[in-house]
Structure 1
Amino acid sequence: MTVTATLTELVGDAPEFLRGHWNRGPARFRADLPELITEREILDTVACGLLSWPYVTVVRDGVPARRDEVTVTRRVLNVTVPGFVHRRTVVEEFRGGATIELAHAEHWQPRIRAVVEGLAPAFGAEVAAAVRLTPAGAVEPAAHTGRAHAFVLQLAGETEWTAAGDPPLVPRPGEVLYLPHGRPRTATATGGTSLRVAITVEEPDTADIVAVLARTLVRRLQASEEAKLHHRLPAERKADWVRDEVARCCAELDLAAVLDAAVERRTSRS
């Protein structure tokens, strides 16, 4: 099955969404969502035992299980390899009320990868996907931490999202809930087992951009003729040289390239 998803397919009028909703407040949209993943597929994936930490874990009351609680060590080609999911433990935790979380599903699930790749061009940011399968009635404090924007694709069941001072939001199957960054929210599975895919959009922060600029400047300084003689320069002359190079570097910057590098840096840190 071929799966595609663009911002327009999720929210309708993409320019209107960016003008009226992006970074402003939550919004719900009806979308023709493809069958990205099912509860049966998740349980079968866990049962096969090939996924490893941190791609799969369980979360109870908002607290992820420790690695040693849900994984085992195996011998693979005569090499000891830790981190394989402990199938029985994960399933028992789920039946006992814990959420199964599949992180960075775009790395290994082709249909979800297609959605992430379809959305990425709309944003200068890291775009990633996480799948959550939550038993009915289970509560997940800070299910949305507020660090990133999120498009929550509700595939089955219902999830009630709450934040202090805001009315609850309850997307139903086939709906997309947009949650802007900066506001933690609690999720409660209602209407049976809740299955959702959260597409997160995490923009570079100031530290990412400054790090890229600093790296660019250092490379520029190292390539200059003055760098070969900097140890002979008096401190005042050296300060003048660096100041002038900083000014020239900033004036000549390709801002699009800087943002691309900042996104790459953020992605490598996640």
Structure 2
Amino acid sequence: MADTLCTSTSTSSPERDGALGRFAREYRTVRKAEGWGSADGAYYRALPYHDLTHRFERIWRIRTRSFETFVDRILRPLEDRFSRPLMILDLGGGNGWLSYRLAQRGHLVTAIDLTLDPLDGLGAIRHYDARFLPVQAEFDHLPIRDSVADLAIFNASLHYSPNYVDSIGEALRATRPEATLAVLDSPFYGQAASGQRMVRDRQHRFLAAYGFTSDSLQAEHFLTRTRLDEIAQAHGIHWRILPPRTTLRGRIGRRVMNLRLRRETAEFPVIIGTRA
């Protein structure tokens, strides 16, 4: 796996580095306050199927559905097609749960994240019994050689990007021409106005709770069909949007939440990109 790495050619400015540092500090503050992570290694190995802390079971149910849809519709067909271990980039790898699941299937995985936090970042990899390579980096400046990966996965992370065109472009640089991009667990809205309302609501909530809005990166925060079309035009990508399986209870709950919030709530489809 290490042979996929190169010396970083980052052109990040001091301003960008400062924003990244602030983002990482604020992210850790929020996640620690919310109670993410565990001292029990079994917690990490059970993800995404079981949240042994029971603190974020709804979120992990969403991620389980996304992961199962991704495996059934994308990963297994790729495994059948290549008949070899895939070179995979887990972009926004967090505590490493996705990299672990992919490594268990025999793939060569590089997990990339800004934070090395022992509970909620790459420092948690000590709990896993399948090996993958952790790399501290941002996904707009990947220390990865050109055209080496078969699959790049934005793992609940693309919405933190300040410019989706740039972030997708960097992932394309690091992947082979026939590679696949996957976007998992980023909020998707039918109407941009609903996403903008979500952002304002969260900023107000964070400011009240933590004293900051947590927007140092000026992220795009959410996806829409229109924004995907703009990215496709910029990079010559064909997108497929795969809705995860949902239950009747889940659909009713979403409608109730829409009424309560007076806006559309986010969906979390599995979004797949290939070069056209």
Structure number with higher strand proportion: 1
TM range (shorter): under 0.3
Structure 2 length normalisation: TM-score? Answer: 0.23
Q: Over alpha carbons, which structure has the higher Rg?
A: 1
Structure number with higher helix proportion: 2
Structure 1 length normalisation: TM-score? Answer: 0.24
